[in-house]
Amino acid sequence: MSGFVVDSTVSSGNSSVAIPTDISGQILDLDEDDDLEVFSKDTTVTDGSSFNASMQTSPASMINQYKFEEDAEDTKDIFVTVDNPESHVTAIETYITYRVVTKTTRSEFDSSEFEVRRRYQDFLWLKGRLEEAHPTLIVHPLPEKFVVKGMVERFNEDFIETRRRALHRFLNKIAEHPIFSSSEDFKIFLTAAPGELTSYKKQGPGFLSRMGETVKAVAAAVRGVRNRPQEFTEMQEYVEAFSQKISSLDKVTQRIVREQKEYLEELKECGPTYALWSQSEEELAEPLKDVAGCVDRCCKETEEQVKNLNDNLIPVLHEYALCTDTLKAVLRRRDNIQADFEAKTEALATKKADRDTESKVLSLAWDSLVGRSPEEVKQQKQQKLKGEIKEMRDDLDKAEDRLEWANNALKSDWTRWQKDMRTDLRSAFVDTAERNVNYYEKCLAVWESFLHSQRTDAEGNGNVDFS
Amino acid sequence: QFLGGLGFVMVEKGTSLLKMMEISVAEAEKRTGKNAVNMQETYTVYLIETRPVDAASEGTNPVPDSLWRRYSEFELLRNYLLVTYPFSVVPPLPEKRAEFVWHKLSADNMDPDFVERRRVGLENFLLRVASHPDLSSDKIFYSFLTEENGWKETVFETGFQAKADSRLKALNATFRVKNPDKRFAEMKHYGDELQSVISQLLRVRARAADRLYGVYKVHGNYGRVFSEWSAIEKEMGDGLQSAGHHMDAYAASVDDILEEEEHYADQLKEYLFYADALRAVCRKHELTQYELEMAAQDLTSKKQQREELATGTIRTFSLKGMTSKLFGQETPEQREAKVKMLETQIEEGEELVKERNTECEEFVKSAWVDIERFKEQKDHDLREALISYAIMQISMCKKGIQVWNNAKECFSKM
């Protein structure tokens, strides 16, 4: 079976779930009242009535959230598993669903156990919703939609198993995340019956409003950010470098697996050759057969070891390679929010300048033609400008809030992500090293038992000096 | 009494030569000179050192006697031994050219590793000859070890080349012999099988070594990437950096591992070539048996002719018989002469058959003794080789355990 080789430049982003996230600020405007409510509540409990209730717009409430996180580790109150892939065939398509089992003691859940079936599309949807709602928080990556090279069939057993594990990790990361785990979308994902989920998915901002926001988003992106704070530039540099390293590690590990497999192919022929030889021999037949047996056992151990690398180390490295795409997107979105703020700041300044100049210039000609007194016209214009400026200032204030919130969210989540990354990669490498030690210990035992049997034979025959 | 010393050579202390002297091939050197067609060539010479056994045990360390020989002279010696002692399984020389190499190992005859392994092989050859019950007392062998100049001429003077059986003659015998000793036929078959299976093993082993090399070396990349990665991390940096060093050590360790495995391969190769020597003895038996059969057949036909002449009946077709039928019978005097000639030939024939019979019997006796000796030596040596292979594997595993335990510790500090 050929290993899955993934081109890590393929984006795992949910670009198909359309809304660009830097306009989420505008959506937030609809929920101003809820902000206050949420602020006063225990921040880990969400208000079930609004699907954006998990939105913390005040930086202060964010701090509360993260303080709580430290205790949360000992009191894990939700357990999610993904297993039992099943194939579904309809007239139009064939697809796989996975069983998602949730066990929880949280009070916002109606029951303590849930079991639903979800397909990959549903996971994509969830990821998209979380990113929309929290543009500068870091969502753990999903396994890729499809593998670019070396894949023949989507429903290959190994592929499904690898995907299942990755989906399991994805949901667990969400469940462990202080903010995502209280997301209404997450709850619906875990608990809704299939029909419910479909209709729930259909809610949300209409197509036209989404289009309008997209245009604004593109404009902001094109403008670019002018005064990016140093720490975010450092973050970006780190992400660049980390991305290279992790991608290298992914490649190196895949190469090791390939070489091991080829080694295994050759080694598999050694045992039988010794066995063949033993058939021509008399005295030597026993030791040759024993050696054949030892080589065969070492082959089995090598096979185990390769499987371990494939199942344990490679998926983790791969996920963190995908993470870097997420990190880059998050940084980009933050930049866009800042660009938007900067643009609005500039626009307001320009408008104010306009107002100041307006008071000096008298456009006499047209106004006299129209038959209005210069004073009247001036008044009207001033009123209009004042209104526009107020609107723009309000807009600007919101943009400033949005930016501050985005920056704080990112900073906190960045810390959390780094900690997580460190834990995950450390344990993956420690695990790998342990398995390698295990592998060598087993092979050692095999050869030592051979030696032992030869020694007892020889001492029995009294003819060989082993000193 | 067999001793397991001197590397993997089983040395029989009782033989005359090794009682007297220590033999070693101490060094190898490159020389340039003009060859037979007057062209410059580079070749390697090997230093053979000999020293009386007693001297060493007395505590004094006299300078050994020494002389230089090149590979072609070893070949000459061996060919001489093959012809002169056809009933002995003559120890083989190390290979002339490197075969069964895996990619990292050079196939170049001038490569220092190859030269070194050959040096060891040549020493092994000399020790084997010196410990052989029949070969060790040969004078040409002795002078090979002790007389640098004029040795070649001495060898040629023995006229051994004339005694060599032509390949054609030997092949002919193999096809036509009627009653070879069963044991020799079986031995020949065993020789074929041994050669085939060891060749296969060497090939497979070389390919596996190649692959194993790749596995270890790729881990070196971990070292590089960990090092680079540690530069951008704060808390993880130290753990990563030191883990990287262990990965480098792991990658480097494969060179020693595979070098040791080459020794094992050399031990197998020796017996691969021994298989050939074994078959040579069997072929010689076929030849002597065939020659006996030919002589016996000739004698029988002569006896028949005599009988026919005596009784006047012609049972066998002969041109002479036909012509005499056609052109008339011979005179009694002519017939008398013929009978007399036949009688002489028969006498001679009987002598020849007796001779060849004795030859054959003696050959079978001596050869079978040496074959039995060879069998025991082979079983012992190859068992030792398998054991040393296991020891090598154990050592490799222990190194692996150590490296990965160290790496694990470093990783846990990440």
Q: What ipTM was assigned to the predicted interfaces of this complex?
A: 0.87
Residues of chain B in contact with residue A434, where contact means CB-CB under 8 angstroms, are 404, 408
Optimal mutation site among B186, B195, B204, interface A, most CBs of chain A within 10 A: B204
Alpha-carbon distance B257 to nearest alpha carbon in chain A (angstroms): 14
Q: How far is B200 from chain A (nearest CA, A)?
A: 7
Q: Do B215 and A260 touch (CB under 8 A)?
A: yes
- Gap between the Cα atoms of B110 and B123, Å rounded: 18
A245 at B interface, C-beta within 8 A: yes
Hey, are the CB atoms on A454 and B211 less than 8 Å from each other? no
How is residue A149 annotated by DSSP? B
Pick from B222, B379, B404: CB nearest A284 = B379
- What is the pLDDT at residue A43? 38
Residues of B in contact with A269 (CB under 8 A): 204
A415–B contact, CB cutoff 8 A: no
Report the C-alpha gap between A342 and A225 in whole angstroms. 7
Give the end-to-end CA distance of chain B in Å, rounded to a whole number.
59
Using the Cβ of A138 and the Cβ atoms of chain B, whether some distance falls under 8 Å is answered with no
d(C-alpha B396, C-alpha B378), whole Å:
27
Task: Collapse the DSSP code of A282 into the 3-class scheme (helix H, G, I; strand E, B; otherwise coil) and give the result.
Answer: coil
For A464, phi then psi, to 5°, come to: -120, 135
Cα–Cα distance, A322 to A122 (Å, whole number): 19
Q: Among A248, A249, A433, select the one facing B408 at the smallest CB separation.
A: A433
Whole-number percent of chain B with pLDDT over 70: 88
- Give the integer Cα–Cα distance in Å for B91 and B127: 10
Determine the pLDDT at residue A135: 87
A vs B: CB pairs below 8 A: 147
Chunk chain A into consecutive blocks of 10 residues (it has 467) and report each block's average pLDDT, rounded to whole numbers: 40 40 38 35 38 43 46 71 88 88 87 90 91 90 72 68 91 92 90 82 60 63 79 93 94 94 95 96 95 96 92 92 93 90 88 72 59 75 84 90 92 93 94 96 96 80 51
**Best to test chain A binding among B227, B232, B375, B380 (most A CBs inside 10 Å):** B232
Contact state of B383 with A287 under an 8 Å Cβ cutoff: yes
Q: Write phi, then psi, for A46 (nearest 5 degrees).
A: -100, 155
| Closest Cβ opposite residue A267 in set B208, B214, B391 | B208
Which residue in the set B221, B379, B407 is minimally distant from A433, CB to CB? B407
Closest by CA to B410, choosing from B171, B249, B212, B175, is B249
List the single residue in A282, A291, A440 with the smallest CB-CB distance to B400: A440
Tell if the CB–CB gap between B414 and A245 is shorter than 8 Å.
Answer: no
Task: Say yes or no for a CB contact (<8 Å) between B405 and A463.
Answer: no
- Which residue would you say has higher pLDDT here, B317 or B86? B86
What is the structure's pLDDT at B1?
34
Closest CA of chain A from B83, distance in Å: 29
In this predicted model, what pLDDT tens digit does every residue of B267-326 receive, in sequence order?
999 999 999 999 999 999 999 999 999 999 999 999 888 888 777 665 556 666 666 666
How confident is the model at residue A32, as a pLDDT? 39
Q: Count other C-beta atoms under 10 Å from residue A189's C-beta.
A: 25
Q: What is the pLDDT of residue A358?
A: 61
Residue A146 near residue A11 (C-beta atoms within 8 A): no
Convert B374-383 to b/e letters by CB count within 10 Å (16 or more is b). bbebbebbbb
Instruction: For the beta carbon of residue A27, count every other beta carbon within 10 angstroms.
Output: 19
Distances (CA, A) of B284 to A135, A410, B173, B186, B351: 90, 89, 9, 14, 22
Residue B330: both structure tokens together: 């011979």
B221 neighbourhood in chain A, CB within 8 Å: 248, 252, 255
Please answer yes or no on whether A430 and B394 come within 8 Å at the CB atom.
no
pLDDT band at B50 (very low <50, low <70, confident <90, very high): confident
Find the residue in A nearest to B395 (Cα).
A444
Neighbours of B288 (CB within 10 A): 25
Check if the beta carbon of residue B271 is closer than 8 Å to that of residue B386: no
CB-CB under 8 Å, A287 with B400: no
- How far B411 CA lies from chain A's nearest CA (Å)? 6
Min Cα distance B113 → chain A (Å) is 25
Residue of A nearest to B379 (CA): A284
Q: Which long-range contacts (CB under 8 A, 24 or more apart) does A413-417 make?
A: A413/A136, A413/A137, A413/A138, A414/A138, A414/A235, A416/A66, A416/A69, A416/A138, A416/A177, A416/A178, A417/A138, A417/A323, A417/A327
A249 in reach of chain B (CB within 8 A): yes
* Single-letter residue type at A59: P
- Judge whether residue B93 has pLDDT over 90: yes
Phi-psi region of A42 (alpha: psi -120 to 50; beta: other; left: phi over 0): beta
Q: How distant is the Cα of A409 from the closest Cα of chain B, in angstroms?
A: 22
Is A459 in CB contact (< 8 Å) with chain B? no
* Residue A223 distance to chain B (closest CA, Å): 31
- Residue A290 burial (CB < 10 Å; 0-12/13-18/19+)? buried
End-to-end CA gap in chain A: 47
User: Dihedral angle at the C-alpha atoms of A14, A18, A22, A24, nearest 10 degrees?
Assistant: -110
What mean pLDDT, rounded, does chain B reach? Answer: 86
**A443 touches B: beta carbon within 8 Å:** yes
Q: Residue A176 is which amino acid?
A: E
Q: Do B383 and A454 touch (CB under 8 A)?
A: yes
User: pLDDT digit string (tens) for B310-369?
Assistant: 776 655 566 666 666 665 566 778 778 888 888 899 999 999 999 999 999 999 999 999
pTM: 0.79
Tokens linked to B196:
């085939």
Given a cut of 90, whether residue B113 has pLDDT beyond it is no
CA neighbor of A141 nearest in space, from A285, A8, A340: A8
Mutation for testing the B interface, residue in A238, A417, A430, A449 having most B CBs under 10 Å: A430
| Contact check, Cβ <8 Å, A245/B201 | no
Query: Which two tokens mark A101?
Result: 């089992």
Minimal Cα distance from A241: which residue of B?
B232
Q: Is the pLDDT of residue B174 over 90?
A: no
Residue in A with minimal Cα distance to B237? A422
**Torsion A66-A70-A73-A77 (CA) sign:** negative
- pLDDT given at position A268: 95
The pLDDT of B185-207, averaged and rounded, is: 95
Q: What pLDDT shows up at residue B358? A: 93
Q: What's the CA gap between B208 and A266, in Å, rounded?
A: 5
| Residue with token string 């000609």 | A365
Which pLDDT value is given to residue B329?
Answer: 64
According to the model, what pLDDT value does residue B59 have? 62
* Strand ordering across the sheet containing A113-119: A78-89, A94-104, A113-119
Question: In chain B, which residues have their Cβ closer than 8 Å to the Cβ of A465?
Answer: 3-4
Cα–Cα distance for residue pair B252/B400, rounded to 1 Å = 12
Q: Would the CB atoms of A288 and B386 count as touching at under 8 Å?
A: yes
* Closest CA in chain B for residue A239: B232
Chain A residues within 8 A of B2 when measuring between CB atoms: 463
Whole-number Cα distances in Å, A114 to A24, A79, A105, A143: 31, 10, 12, 24
A241 touches chain B (CB under 8 A): yes
Contacts of A8 (CB under 8 A, 6+ apart): A247, A250, A318, A321, A322
Please answer yes or no on whether A288 and B243 come within 8 Å at the CB atom: no
Query: What residue type is assigned to position A127 of the chain?
Result: K
Tell me which residue in A245, A425, A429 faces B228 most closely, judged by beta carbons.
Answer: A245
Is the minimum CB–CB distance between A461 and chain B shorter than 8 Å? no
Mutate to test the interface with B, among A258, A268, A269, A289 (most CBs of B within 10 A): A269
CA dist A123 and A143 (Å) reads 10
